[in-house]
Each structure stands twice: as structure tokens, then as C-alpha cells.
Structure 1
Amino acid sequence: MTYQGVLTKMKTELAENVQYYLIFEEDFLNMNQVLDKKLAINFLNYECTACKKKKKVFANGVCYNCFMELPQNGEWVIRPELSKAHLDTEDRDLEFEKAVQLQPHVVYLANSSNVKVGVTRKSEIPTRWIDQGAHEAIEIVEVPNRYLAGITEVALKEHLSDKTNWRSMLTNDLKDLDLVAIREEMRQYLPAEVADYYLANSRELEIKFPVLSYPAKCKTLNLAKMPFYEGVLKGIKGQYLIFEDGMVFNVRKHEGFNVSLSLS
């Protein structure tokens, strides 16, 4: 059976084990049903997910022009402390920026390989945690806009990492930690502007991923350098496919890659 389409990040559904779906323009594939089967991935060409032109992808699934022009690729996306919509100040498109920035945001702790602090829109929980491969996570504050979340993250990054060790996450080199206790410890470092938004009663969420076996070591599949790969799928975690031979494939990093997928 063969599927073809432009890759975008897998859609997810929180369940006993997270359910994963690859969505194409005319079809979809429940990736959980591919576990323990041989999957062949063949890179055909690039297609910008924004303008749909057959142009090389620069970042985030879009070509260079779209990356430089579209409001969803502004610097405030990666650095939320740079958000300015609450000041009625435009970066690229004020209407878009208001719609995204002026809504409830959450600052959280997630444990994927180590405890990290992060920011996401409230509507993206638990999707954001699943995408990061976090096996446990907890909310710290819920604030009314992205700027307040951003300055909170900046303050807490002085005491916690904001990065995930993806190799540890994919080899399951993990520790279960008391996120409630860490949340309480971080409370003292919150900026004064967000102190009243602290979530003293938030609960830790545990997430289980569909992984049959973890590799002892992993190596990354880059379709731009290796346009064809075939292997037995043994797990899915974060936005990664984990194969029997230790190869791991970051679906999100390959957004904008038009591929064919064959199952056997």
C-alpha cells in the first residue's frame, strides 16, 4: 500500500497511548497501525506549505520568501518576550498577531529528557507536550497574552533549561521527577507581573507513547541527503518515527517534503 503527499507535523490524540496521524491532501494514515511493519520513505520533491510552489523549503515547511514575509514566522514566535500586539504595535500583520498573541498562554514544565520550561497557547495543551515527547508535564502559570508568558519563560530559563535532549528522549534515558515540587520551587522566580497567575493547584499529566522498543543509540534520517529509506517502524515519540535499526525520522523537520510512503 502506498501513500503520497507533502509532509506536515503529525496530528495527535491523547489516549492510553498517543495516537498519531499523517494527514495528506487526499488521504491520511494512522501511524500507530504501522508499528512493527516495514515502511519505505521516498523523497520526491519540495513544496512550500504556504505558497504551494515547488521551491526548496527554508524552515518551518515554507520557502525563504514565505519565511521572511508571513506573520506566523515572525521572531516573536520563537521569542515570545518580543510580542507587541498588547501594545497595538505591528510586526508583520497586526490583525494576525493580535489573534495569536492576545489569547491565554501557559508557561509549563515538561520532562522529555530533562525538565525544561516552555510556552504555548492554552489551546495547544497537551498537543505541545506530546510534540516534545514529554512523558510528564505540568502548568506553572496561565496568562492572558504571549508577552507575559515570554517574560516568565525568560526569568525561569535562568534556573531551568529550555531545550530537550532529543537523543535521551528517543533512547528512553529518562527520570521521573516531582514536577509539583519543581513548580513550587520556581514560584519564587516569577516576574511580579505574573505572580497572580500562578497555578497552585495544577496537576502533573503523564503521557504514554506508542513505542515497542527503544534504540540503544540513534542516528537521524535526513531526506535531503538520503532520499530513500526503508525500515521496520518500532515506535513514535514526539514528532519522531523510531526504526528497528536505530534510525529516527523527525517528521516536523521535514515539513514541505513531498514523499511517497510504502507499507509492506
Structure 2
Amino acid sequence: MSETNLTGTLTGTLSKMTSELIPGAEGQKSTVNYSLPVGDQLLPLNTLIGQKLSMEYLGEIFCCHCGRKTKKSFSQGFCYPCFRKLPQCDTCIMSPEKCHYFEGTCRDPEWGDKFCMTDHVVYLANSSGLKVGITRGTQIPTRWIDQGAVQAMPFIRVATRQQSGLIEAIFKEFINDRTNWRAMLKGPAEPLDLQQHAIELLDMNGSRIKALQEQFGLQAIQPMLGDMAGEASKPAVIEIDYPVEHYPVKVTSQSFDKKPLIEGILHGIKGQYLILDTGVINMRKHTAYQVTVSVG
């Protein structure tokens, strides 16, 4: 996939925006550089802020896995047959504590080996306030950027996705596991002491974490803070700044399903949302939609 400076139009199927975290100078936040995949082209977005962006849905959706034409997108870009058979569309993806790999019923054990039976982290983030989440170690910081987090920090490392889900299920009794996307798009969240919140969560749930360590092994579940961390060093809190010139006072959501032509002045990008003066649009939600994109 190659980058392009758009002078005319681009036509192709959409994918979620790609992002790169650019480290800031000492004492400065890191900033996000975004691009929008349209077919086999990458459209750099940061330089388009302040310009008019037009996106026209051409009425066709092509499955992001098999390429089959589909009337409706399932699970952000899949046709119904793929949604029913692929492991990345199974219910345990949204509820990892329900992983059934060890029961021998995984839809694709080889896929499970690669994506689920590998190191994950449990993290705290501040997007619309304090939240807990999980991700593969290889998805840091992409996962945090996709959620529009202004601060994020891993605080437990585990051996499998199921284990991360079991721990997340404990912590979400006390804090949110979801982002309030409307609040996130109204401006940066107030700073939080993520390290202190992590220590408090570990202290409150020490016996439950130890029970999981007894079940899966001490090395499988490794807290990175507080009394349970042993000699582990403190994880750093990542602070993230987004390319936004103007946040909306009122968040109005737009969708190609209701409005085939979406256009407006690009005011910024945060999470997987484009912020236009006419409303916001979740680009990840429209994965596999066939569109034409033009600037100016």
C-alpha cells in the first residue's frame, strides 16, 4: 500500500485509519499521524486539516476477508458467511474470558495460536475518563490511539487473551471498560494518575489476582506495579496528542448508511473518527464500503 498526495479523486474500499505515534521532544506529548486506506492507496490526513473533504459511498460493500459483495457489513467489514465462520468474529473476541480454545472448539486453532495464545497486557487508559482494557503487546500504542486515549499505561502482562479477559472482568466491576465516544470527541480528558489507580486496583483485588496465578502459573500473570510486582520496573504512562484544530460543541454522528455523500471541512482526527464541521464519522465502522474520496 502506497501513500498518495490527493489531487483528484481516490476510489476503493475503506479500511480503518492507520496511525503512527510520533515521539515529542523532552517534556512534550507524542502526536498521532493518520492515513486513510482507500483501496490500495494511503491518503495522508494530517495535512488535510482545514480543507474540504468529500466522501461518496458508491452503494457497494465488499467483505474485507473474502472480497464477496455483501448488502450489509457484519462486525466492521465482513460478509455474513465470514462473520459466522471466522475466529475473529466469534463472541469470545468481544468477551475474551469466554475463550473456548482449550475446549477444542476454536473456529481456527492456528489463528488462535497466533492471536490469542500470545502475550497480552491489561492496561488503564484515559479517553473519556478512566477505563480498563486489554490488547496484544504488539498492538501498543495502536489500540490506545484507536480509542482516542490521551493517557495510557500497561500494568499487568499475561500469557493469553483469555487470562487478560478474566482480569479485565474483575476490574470492570470498579471502573469502565468502554469509552464514551461522544465525550472523547468533545475534547481531551482531564489528566489522571494512572499509576496510582493501577496500584489501588491491584491492592483491592490482590487475592483474586493470586487465585488466577495459582490457576495459570505465577509467570503467566505478572503485575507491573505495587506490592505484587516484585522487582518489576514501573511502566511508563504514554501521553498522546491528536491532530485536532476544533472540537465540536455538539457531536453529530454521520453514516454512509443514511447519507451516501458526507463532506465538510476537516477539523481533526481522533480515535477512528474524522471530525468535520458537518459532523463526525467513524471510519472503522465503514470498513469495506466502496467510496470515492476527494479534497477541496
Normalised-by-shorter TM-score class: over 0.9
Answer yes or no: is 1:33 the counterpart of 2:47.
Answer: yes
Q: Give 1:227's match in structure 2, choosing from 248, 251, 260.
A: 260
- 3-state DSSP of counterpart to 2:168: helix
Deviations 1:68-92 (A, max 9, x none): 111111111111111233x362321
Give the equivalent residue in structure 1 for 2:288. 256
1:207 matched to 2:243? The reply is: no
Determine if the alignment matches structure 1 residue 64 to structure 2 residue 80.
Answer: yes
1:82 is matched with which residue? 98
Q: Deviations over 1:121-172 (max 9, x none)?
A: 0100000000000000111201111111010000001111111111110011
Deviation at 1:173, TM superposition (A): 5.8
Match of 1:197, SS state, is strand
Structure 1 residue 28 displacement after superposition: 1.3
- Structure 2 Cα separation of the partners of residues 185 and 36 of structure 1: 43
Structure with higher Rg: it is 2
1:244 equivalent to 2:269? Answer no
TM-score (norm 2): 0.85
Q: Which moved more, 1:188-197 or 1:161-170?
A: 188-197
Structure 1 position 52 matched with structure 2 position 67: yes
Secondary structure of the corresponding residue to residue 155 of structure 2: strand
1:157-196 to 2 correspondence within 5 Å? 157-172=172-187, 174-188=189-203, 189=205, 191-192=209-210, 193-194=212-213
Shift of 1:59: 2.3
What is the CA–CA distance in structure 2 between the aligned matches of 1:26 and 1:84, rounded to whole Å?
A: 35
Q: Post-superposition shift, 1:33?
A: 1.6
Q: More deviation in 180-189 or 24-33?
A: 24-33
Q: CA separation in 2, counterparts of 1:187 and 1:142?
A: 13
Unaligned stretches of 5+ residues in structure 2? 1-7, 23-29, 226-233
Query: Aligned-pair distance for 1:108?
Result: 0.5
Where does structure 1 lack aligned partners over 5 or more consecutive residues? Answer: none
Question: Given the alignment of the two structures, is residue 3 of structure 1 paired with residue 17 of structure 2, yes or no?
Answer: no
Match of 1:180, SS state, is: helix
On the 8 A contact 2:150/2:188 being kept in 1, the answer is no
Contact 2:118 2:159 in 1 (8 A): yes
Moved more, 194-203 or 104-113: 194-203
Q: In structure 2, do the counterparts of structure 1 residues 173 and 134 end up closer, same or farther at CA, with 3 Å as the change threshold?
A: closer
| TM-score normalised by the chain length of structure 1 | 0.95
Aligned residues: 262
SS in 2 for 1:99: helix
State the one-letter code of the partner of 1:130.
I
* Identity between Structure 1 and Structure 2 (%): 39
Q: Hey, what does 2:229 align to over in structure 1? A: none
**Aligned 1:111-126 pairs, distance under 5 A:** 111-126=126-141
Letter in 2 for 1:5: G
Q: Which residue of 1 aligns with 2:89?
A: 73
CA RMSD of aligned residues (A): 1.4
> Which segment drifts farther, 56-65 or 179-188?
56-65
Instruction: Decide whether the 8 Å contact of 2:116 with 2:160 is kept in 1.
Output: yes
| DSSP 3-state at the match of 1:186 | helix
Secondary structure at the counterpart of residue 18 of structure 1: strand
Q: What SS does structure 1 have at the residue aligned with 2:125?
A: strand
Q: Which residue of 1 aligns with 2:21?
A: 14
